[in-house]
Amino acid sequence: MDLVLSDEQRMIRDGAASFFRERGGVARMRAYRDAGGVGVGLWRELAELGWAGLIVPEAHGGAGLGMAEMAVVSEAAGRVLAPEPLLGCAVLGASALGLGGVEAGLGWLAKVASGEAVAALAWDERAMRGETARTGTVARRDGDGWRLEGEKCDVIAGAEADVLVVSARKDGGEVALFLVEKAAPGLTVSAQRRVDSVSVARVGLSGVAASAEIGDASVLDKVLDRGRVAAAAELLGVAGAAFEMTLAYLKERQQFGVAIGTFQTLRHRAARLYMALELARSAVMAASRAVDAGAGTRAGEAVQMVSLAKARASDAALLVADEAVQMHGGIGMTDEHDIGLYFKRARVLAMTLGDGAFHRDRWARIAGY
Amino acid sequence: MDLVLSDEQRMIRDGAASFFRERGGVARMRAYRDAGGVGVGLWRELAELGWAGLIVPEAHGGAGLGMAEMAVVSEAAGRVLAPEPLLGCAVLGASALGLGGVEAGLGWLAKVASGEAVAALAWDERAMRGETARTGTVARRDGDGWRLEGEKCDVIAGAEADVLVVSARKDGGEVALFLVEKAAPGLTVSAQRRVDSVSVARVGLSGVAASAEIGDASVLDKVLDRGRVAAAAELLGVAGAAFEMTLAYLKERQQFGVAIGTFQTLRHRAARLYMALELARSAVMAASRAVDAGAGTRAGEAVQMVSLAKARASDAALLVADEAVQMHGGIGMTDEHDIGLYFKRARVLAMTLGDGAFHRDRWARIAGY
Amino acid sequence: MSERLNAFRAEVRAWLEAEAPASLRGAPAGFLQGTWGGRKVKFDSPDHERWLRMMAERGWTAPTWPTEYGGGGLSKAEDEVLKSELRRLKLPPPLIGFGLVMIGPTLLEFGTEAQKREHLPPIVRGEIRWCQGYSEPGSGSDLASLRTSAVRDGDRFVINGQKVWTSYAEKSDWIFCLVRTNTQVPKQQGITFILVDMDMPGVTTRPIPLISGASPFCEVFFSDVVAEARNVIGGIDQGWTVAKALLGHERTMVGEVFAQSVAGGEAELAQAARRYIGADADGKVADPLIRHELAQVAMDERAFMLTVKRIKDGAKAGQRPGPESSILKVYGTELNQRRRELSVRIAGTDGLGWEGEDYPPEALTATREWLRARGNTIEGGTSEIQLDIIAKHTLGLP
Amino acid sequence: MSERLNAFRAEVRAWLEAEAPASLRGAPAGFLQGTWGGRKVKFDSPDHERWLRMMAERGWTAPTWPTEYGGGGLSKAEDEVLKSELRRLKLPPPLIGFGLVMIGPTLLEFGTEAQKREHLPPIVRGEIRWCQGYSEPGSGSDLASLRTSAVRDGDRFVINGQKVWTSYAEKSDWIFCLVRTNTQVPKQQGITFILVDMDMPGVTTRPIPLISGASPFCEVFFSDVVAEARNVIGGIDQGWTVAKALLGHERTMVGEVFAQSVAGGEAELAQAARRYIGADADGKVADPLIRHELAQVAMDERAFMLTVKRIKDGAKAGQRPGPESSILKVYGTELNQRRRELSVRIAGTDGLGWEGEDYPPEALTATREWLRARGNTIEGGTSEIQLDIIAKHTLGLP
């Protein structure tokens, strides 16, 4: 598990970077926001490039690649704040459909990989604070099937989803994953806008009939861990781009007759941001490879690596975001400047799927302190 | 309760400063250490100046002043790292003897105030981590009196003490304070050296007969809170002097053809140390006055102020100590330079009677979060 | 002396009890509550208008200003009495704004007799609202590098350039500006402090939306705007002295504003933590890290407020303002950021809400306050500049 | 190629299995374990001496140095094989010291043929122990301002001055020194790198006790000490180039040493926390803040080690050493400080012990390691200097 990019990964990275650059870079996110921030942007185009199905097995129409490759695309997307649901659909949605190995779920994968259908995972709830053990949504047995009752929040791409994978407690006991189609009676989906102007859905489930049970709690954990790696990689992109913008500003902005990058305090703080980003990058690379190695690693090792990556990337991104605004000075506070968009996305991704404190607690639990 | 020094307090401050300066400043601490670090130094002289009995009521031969005045003396002592047991005897010992209002304890006060006798409080134990509720020493009823069984640690001035006030659980229940005289059979006292080279005692109690019960758990809390204020004030002195030495070094040490105090990073960090010290000073002044006001304040208010002062002073002193060594560079790491002595004393006092984390927890408990 | 004060207190109290509009009594005393005045004034109620008029008539909108300029002519001690009586009845200030706290004191210190007579009375009466034209896009921390130019033309100046971060420019009538009148000398020596009527042709304003949403800040553009030379304060090319005095004053004010704003924040945060996170078996906030940070922020706030009090107590005791006051801006603003940060963390997923009915309104407010607070360490002199000042002036570093 | 390596491995293995002293096998591989060599050499055992002799004979004390200077003449790949075979049997390095890792590589890069032939073989054989004379009391971060003077006198130099922070000076035979040979030029251009025999009259050393107690550091005083001009490395007044190359090398080494030293620290800290603090009902370390900081430090250590690995993996893959390596010294040393700090906090009252039988020995060690660690961010280039270097060279800030 060497921590270097393979030639293929470099190719994917460069391809993603030039695609996003050609499509307008971060200006595209600003336009998306000003247009109201709904829809899945260029999702169809991304799917044509193979990214919607990047980690979908080849047998189901995907590219059959791993999280190491996904991380490379997620980072490129993060650099331009792409509003498409790579995390929501290509990682969380596709994994939730596929990892349980149940036909009803697998059957959707080809459509997801081609971009014809959008899938989303509805797992979080307002009072859960990220702990799946606190899931409140309940699945009640109804003949051969299940009926779901509860409310989910922050479902990425939920408003656009054709199919939802919903976590719920079976008769109030074990958590499992259920397939719910868009048209299911009793399902209400309302879009909400978060600070990063990408909408997520609140999902109401009022006796909704699930079309299948497609995974248990351990599958959910694996799905979330893949999402954490992707979110961490996206954060690397967000924070990396924000850092480079700031570095450029330090070199260019003149005060007192010199570039402000000559002031030692700012220089040292910039060096510390750089350190934080480099350490985060090592952790993200290790985590993606550990997840891909799967059974090959010591139990708990991959999970710890995932928590390390998400914690490090979240903390680094928040630090970079705060410092980026401060170092930009007044202009950094204006809505007009792009750095604010990075600031907001960094915060949303840092909180998504557990922030630094959440993952340090999780690490401690696994390590047994 | 204005946060300004009264004329009397200024006079005491200036007197203490010149006394310690005339006696050799911090060089005296170094000599004391090099001589093995035992004994109570110039305790008799300090007593003659009225400081041993500063907070002892006039009726018992003391000056009858409050913690606001004691804090001023403690700070001056901290500035030169005076090894005398102001905290151990004049504050903890004297308060433990007197605050319970029991004759057997009060009877010792005149001797303590005059410097004829040294009193010490034996409350801490290795496994307690500062929580008096975890006291393990037990007092068993024996006829009209009590016999003590257990082990105490870190008793300041314990090796030199003529009388000890020992906390123990009465028949394993409520904590109370007991008077134990030096000659009591079953009492073993051994001196230990801490990093600051001032010795403290480990006290073994093996069926020791207490000569009296002189206070309950609430008295112990009050005694400890007085000690906390004094320790916080002493920390202000330790950290304040270390900061001034560092500031002088920043102005004087030349590298790259300029004083290192021209480097912006060091300037900003120095400014932050200054802020930390000023905020700590406000808290210490408020706490000493709140303790002196006693019944006049809202329940919990004085206790919160004490925890604020000790937490702030401890944290500020540790920060100053770390930065002082770093800013002094290599010379700061040598035993030869005084800054190391400040570094060590700061650590000992910061941990004594609860560090920042301990007092934040205590604050949260009182505030009810 | 004390007898005279007591008599004054009795008089004030009687008058207020008799005359102050009943509808305004018992108002929450927010520091931005009150009437801003000006040509475009909007009163919250007819009683607010009456309250302004009756106070202005006595000069009590600017109690310590000399009576010859419309002020109340009160001593500091009398002013304290007046304030405490207003607090007693929980009455809002009759008038607020930069006229009273910024340009007024500046005119009193640096203005000519004619300038004071012209500009102070309209401020006292709330007829003219003022704003401040200092920063420019290229001149933030390095304010003295400003480039907005003023060219002499007889007894007038013609102004061209742009100001930024001007609060409430679009609601103001006059602006006090720093302009460049000399480019041949070191930058601080070619700056002039001048008063400009914003109704003059060529003045335009544009609001600045922030990352937290709408804001009172504006850009102000000057295109051949004419200002009278008699409205230069402190002499042509002598404006930097005036500007610095005003800036120092502003920074102390900011520190005090933060001290006021932190009061009571602790309880609010603790309640939010209980609501969002719940309690464990011991009744503690269930997340031990959040609980610890709650204590940290609450204790830091208390230490900060005690420091503000110590500075005030020192002043009361006749001590010169100590160097401690230099720390208020830096510490107060960072404290506010940490508090807002914690508040967003406590709110969990709600803390990320931007708009939408599904979010509790107080969570949406908290989110925007958190974003807005990022600007605290930039505006009014960045923390970096403040730390430089502390290092140089307070610590005497070379 | 791989076949040749396999053959080499088989040969090495067979030889080691047959010849390496049994008593040395299975030793804990601490990075400072091994024989230092020199005229005053002290062997831990006769087997240590035999081990040094047999390895030196093959040149395997300096495996990659050319055979003509006594080295092993191995390729990098062969060296890796040798190292892995030593690890397999848990054999200690036969020889360690600054001759091998500092002055040797410097001579190989900058030395003349004659210099290499004179000085390298005694290093390989462990006959001469070297120390470093760089810092002076007045020249810490600003090393180039050094003032120890060397005055030319025919084919000799006469040296006067003082060095500080010289590790193991009192146990060393020769010192490589930076001296000032020209005061008329910019400071970097008047420095000469010279080798000095410490047995020469006029050299005295004095140990430096630290706040943590005894240390290997010494002061070295030069009073009319004679050194041969032929022992100037890299030319008179050209020493700064040589010095910088060595410094860069040293910093990378320090980072790697810290990476090695952090491994396994996590479990030790966690055990100490359980022992001192105990567990709550859920089996967690009872102090939630300590538990959180344990995780923080453990995770930071892991991220650091992964970064070291990433740099190595990159080098293996043929990438040029990336700028990431500049962060190792700063981060590794701060990490060590935080770990030591936490360890002292965990030990509670025991963490304050200095000496005395009542303290557990491991607590006394922890206390001194905590104190010693404060020097990590100073020695070998302060963190401030490292951050300056990152800002300038890695980030390209002006």
The backbone region for B329, taken as left when phi is positive above 0, alpha when psi lies in -120 to 50, beta otherwise, is: left
Across the range B266-295, mean pLDDT stands at 95
CATH number for the domain that contains residue B136:
2.40.110.10
- Residues C80, C134: one domain? no
Which residue from D minimizes the CA distance to C286? D288
- Residues D221, D298: one domain? no
Q: Where in the sequence numbering do the catalytic residues of D fall? A: 250
**Is B333 in Cβ contact with D378 (below 8 Å)?**
yes
- Residues A206, A232: one domain? no
In chain C, residues with a C-beta closer than 8 Å to the C-beta of A190 are 358
In chain C, residues with a C-beta closer than 8 Å to the C-beta of A357 are 287, 289
- Residues C253, C387: one domain? yes
pLDDT of res. C31: 47
CB nearest to A195's CB, from C145, C352, C384: C352
Instruction: Write out the H or E segment, with its range, that includes residue C158.
Output: strand C156-167
Is C39 a residue whose pLDDT tops 90? Answer: yes
- Residues C23, C51: one domain? yes
* CA distance linking residue C291 with residue B357, whole number of Å: 12
CB nearest to B329's CB, from D140, D358, D359: D140
Q: Which amino acid is at C51?
A: W
- Residues A103, A29: one domain? yes
Across the range D242-270, mean pLDDT stands at 77
Nearest to A53, CA basis, from A37, A25, A73 = A73
- Residues C302, C326: one domain? yes
**Is A330 in Cβ contact with C165 (below 8 Å)?**
yes
A73: pLDDT confidence band, cut at 50, 70 and 90? very high
Q: Would you say residue C123 lies in a domain?
A: no
**Is C310 in Cβ contact with B281 (below 8 Å)?**
yes
**Is B255 in Cβ contact with D349 (below 8 Å)?**
no
Domain count, chain B: 3
- Residues C310, C296: one domain? yes
Q: Which amino acid is at C277?
A: I
Is B159 a residue whose pLDDT tops 80? Answer: yes
In chain B, residues with a C-beta closer than 8 Å to the C-beta of A263 are 264
- Residues C205, C294: one domain? no
**Structure ipTM:** 0.94
Question: In terms of DSSP H, where are the helices of chain C?
Answer: 2-19, 46-57, 76-88, 98, 104-110, 113-124, 239-262, 265-277, 288-316, 327-346, 361-373, 383-389
Per-residue CA distances from A109 to A114, A167, A218, C265 (Å): 9, 19, 20, 50
Q: Quote the minimal CA–CA distance from A334 to chain B in Å.
A: 27
Question: In terms of DSSP H, where are the helices of chain A?
Answer: 7-22, 26-34, 43-48, 67-79, 94-98, 103-114, 217-252, 264-293, 301-328, 330-333, 339-351, 356-367
Please answer whether residues A205 and A150 qualify as being in contact, where contact means their C-beta atoms are separated by less than 8 angstroms.
Answer: yes
Q: Would you say residue C116 lies in a domain?
A: no
Q: Would you say residue B246 lies in a domain?
A: yes
**Is D295 in Cβ contact with A361 (below 8 Å)?**
yes
User: What confidence tens digit (pLDDT) does each residue in D345-380 have?
Assistant: 999 999 999 988 889 999 999 999 999 999 999 998
Nearest to C134, CA basis, from C385, C329, C375, C381 = C381
Across the range D34-49, mean pLDDT stands at 92
Nearest to C111, CA basis, from C197, C230, C191, C199 = C230
Q: Quote the minimal CA–CA distance from B326 to chain C in Å.
A: 17
Which domain does D257 fall in, by range?
Answer: 242-394
Report the number of secondary-structure helices (H) and strands (E) in chain A.
12, 10
* CA distance linking residue D95 with residue D56, whole number of Å: 9
Nearest to B76, CA basis, from B313, B308, B236, B274 = B236
Query: Tokens 């999402």 belong to which residue?
Result: A227
D41: pLDDT confidence band, cut at 50, 70 and 90? very high
Q: Would you say residue D371 lies in a domain?
A: yes
Across the range C137-165, mean pLDDT stands at 95
Q: Which residues contact A302 (CB under 8 A, 6 or more apart)?
A: A225, A287, A290, A291, A293, A294
Per-residue CA distances from A62 to A112, A230, B29, D189 (Å): 9, 17, 75, 64
In chain A, residues with a C-beta closer than 8 Å to the C-beta of D274 are 369
In chain D, residues with a C-beta closer than 8 Å to the C-beta of B33 are none
**Is C313 in Cβ contact with B2 (below 8 Å)?**
yes
Point out the domain boundary residue: B163, B190, B216: B216
Interior/surface letters A26-62, b for 16+ CB within 10 angstroms, e for the rest: bebbbebbeeebeebbbbeebbebbbbbbbbbeebbb
CB nearest to A330's CB, from C348, C355, C378: C378
Q: Would you say residue B337 lies in a domain?
A: yes
Q: Which residues contact C310 (CB under 8 A, 6 or more apart)?
A: B3, B4, B281, B282, B285, C324
The rounded mean pLDDT for chain A is: 96
- Computed from CA positions of residues A339, A343, A348, A349, in that sequence, does the dihedral angle turn out positive or negative? positive
CATH number for the domain that contains residue B99:
1.10.540.10
**Is A340 in Cβ contact with C211 (below 8 Å)?**
yes
Q: Which amino acid is at D394?
A: T
Instruction: Write out the H or E segment, with its range, that includes residue B245.
Output: helix B217-252
pLDDT of res. D246: 86
Which residue from B minimizes the CA distance to C387? B268
- Residue C150's DSSP bridge partners are C159
* CA distance linking residue C211 with residue A177, whole number of Å: 38
pLDDT of res. A297: 61
Neighbours of chain C (3+ CB pairs under 8 A): A, B, D
Point out the domain boundary residue: B186, B216, B246: B216
Across the range C288-294, mean pLDDT stands at 96
CA dihedral A289, A294, A296, A300 (to 10 degrees): 90
* CA distance linking residue D295 with residue A359, whole number of Å: 9
**Is D397 in Cβ contact with A286 (below 8 Å)?**
no
Q: Determine the 3-state secondary structure of A230 from DSSP.
A: helix
Is B167 a residue whose pLDDT tops 50? Answer: yes
Least confident segment among A316-320, B342-346, C134-138, D311-315: D311-315
- Residues B204, B341: one domain? no
- Residues B19, B143: one domain? no
CATH number for the domain that contains residue C379:
1.20.140.10
**Top-confidence residue, B71 or D314:** B71
* CA distance linking residue D175 with residue A111, whole number of Å: 73
Neighbours of chain D (3+ CB pairs under 8 A): A, B, C
- For A135, phi then psi, to 5°, come to -55, 130
**Is C145 in Cβ contact with A192 (below 8 Å)?**
no
Q: Which residues contact A138 (CB under 8 A, 6 or more apart)?
A: A148, A149, A150, A168, A169, A171, A172
User: What confidence tens digit (pLDDT) does each residue in C204-252 have?
Assistant: 999 999 999 999 999 999 999 999 999 999 999 999 999 988 887 776 6
B38: pLDDT confidence band, cut at 50, 70 and 90? confident
Point out the domain boundary residue: A117, A145, A168: A117
| Cα angle: D178, vertex D181, D186; to 5 degrees | 90
**Is C209 in Cβ contact with A334 (below 8 Å)?**
yes
Instruction: Write out the H or E segment, with its range, that includes residue B111.
Output: helix B103-114
Is D22 a residue whose pLDDT tops 50? Answer: yes
Largest Cα–Cα distance in chain D?
80
In chain A, residues with a C-beta closer than 8 Å to the C-beta of B264 are 263-265
**Is A265 in Cβ contact with B268 (below 8 Å)?**
yes
- How many CB atoms are closer than 10 A to CB D150? 28
Across the range A253-280, mean pLDDT stands at 97
- Residue B258's DSSP bridge partners are B255
Got the DSSP string for C307-361?
HHHHHHHHHHTTPPPPGGGGHHHHHHHHHHHHHHHHHHHHTGGGGGEEE-TTS-H
- For D314, phi then psi, to 5°, come to -60, -45
Please answer whether residues B147 and B104 qualify as being in contact, where contact means their C-beta atoms are separated by less than 8 angstroms.
Answer: no
CB nearest to B3's CB, from C296, C313, C398: C313
Q: Where in the sequence numbering do the catalytic residues of C fall? A: 250
Pairing state of beta strands B119-122 and B163-170? Answer: parallel
- Residues A50, A92: one domain? yes
- For D163, phi then psi, to 5°, come to -110, 160
D31: pLDDT confidence band, cut at 50, 70 and 90? very low
Question: In terms of DSSP H, where are the helices of chain D?
Answer: 2-19, 46-57, 76-88, 98, 104-110, 113-124, 239-262, 265-277, 288-316, 327-346, 361-373, 383-389
- Residues B157, B26: one domain? no
CATH number for the domain that contains residue C76:
1.10.540
Q: Would you say residue C115 lies in a domain?
A: no
* CA distance linking residue D291 with residue D346, whole number of Å: 10
Please answer whether residues A223 and A99 qualify as being in contact, where contact means their C-beta atoms are separated by less than 8 angstroms.
Answer: yes
- Residues B153, B164: one domain? yes
Q: Would you say residue D122 lies in a domain?
A: no
Task: Provide the percentage of residues in chain A whose pLDDT is more than 70.
Answer: 99
Q: Determine the 3-state secondary structure of D228 from DSSP.
A: strand
CATH number for the domain that contains residue C152:
2.40.110.10
**Is D324 in Cβ contact with A278 (below 8 Å)?**
yes
Please answer whether residues D155 and D147 qualify as being in contact, where contact means their C-beta atoms are separated by less than 8 angstroms.
Answer: no
Largest Cα–Cα distance in chain B?
78
Across the range B320-332, mean pLDDT stands at 97
Q: Would you say residue A55 lies in a domain?
A: yes
C357: pLDDT confidence band, cut at 50, 70 and 90? confident
Q: How many CB pairs under 8 A join A and D?
A: 118
- Residues A73, A204: one domain? no
Q: Would you say residue B2 lies in a domain?
A: no
The rounded mean pLDDT for chain B is: 96
CB nearest to D142's CB, from B196, B256, B351: B256
Is C29 a residue whose pLDDT tops 70? Answer: no
* CA distance linking residue C164 with residue C140, whole number of Å: 9
* CA distance linking residue A198 with residue A36, whole number of Å: 9
Neighbours of chain B (3+ CB pairs under 8 A): A, C, D
- Residues A203, A237: one domain? no
Nearest to D375, CA basis, from B328, C330, A329 = B328
Q: Determine the 3-state secondary structure of D147 from DSSP.
A: coil
Q: Would you say residue C118 lies in a domain?
A: no
- Residues D184, D258: one domain? no
Residue D124 is encoded by which pair of tokens?
Answer: 């390989």
- Residues A240, A352: one domain? yes
Q: Would you say residue D293 lies in a domain?
A: yes
CB nearest to D352's CB, from B194, B263, B322: B194
- Residues A207, A150: one domain? yes
In chain A, residues with a C-beta closer than 8 Å to the C-beta of B265 are 264-265, 268
Q: Quote the minimal CA–CA distance from C288 to chain D in Å.
A: 6
Which domain does A34 fall in, by range?
Answer: 7-117
- Residues C364, C340: one domain? yes
Q: Would you say residue B1 lies in a domain?
A: no
Across the range D191-217, mean pLDDT stands at 97
CATH number for the domain that contains residue B283:
1.20.140.10
- Residues C352, C276: one domain? yes
Residue D381 is encoded by which pair of tokens?
Answer: 């280039």
Pairing state of beta strands C217-228 and C156-167? Answer: antiparallel
In chain C, residues with a C-beta closer than 8 Å to the C-beta of A191 are 356
The rounded mean pLDDT for chain D is: 92
Domain count, chain D: 3
Across the range D286-295, mean pLDDT stands at 96
Per-residue CA distances from A177 to A140, A147, A166, A214 (Å): 13, 12, 5, 6
- Residue B146's DSSP bridge partners are B141, B210
Q: Quote the minimal CA–CA distance from D76 to chain C in Å.
A: 49
CB nearest to A195's CB, from C138, C367, C384: C367
Least confident segment among B12-16, C95-99, C252-256: C252-256
- Residues B188, B272: one domain? no
- Residues D229, D265: one domain? no
- Residues C260, C282: one domain? yes
In chain B, residues with a C-beta closer than 8 Å to the C-beta of D280 are none
Cβ within 8 Å of A, D 310-339: 310, 313-314, 316-317, 319, 324, 327, 330-331
* CA distance linking residue B168 with residue B132, whole number of Å: 10
Point out the domain boundary residue: D203, D237, D271: D237
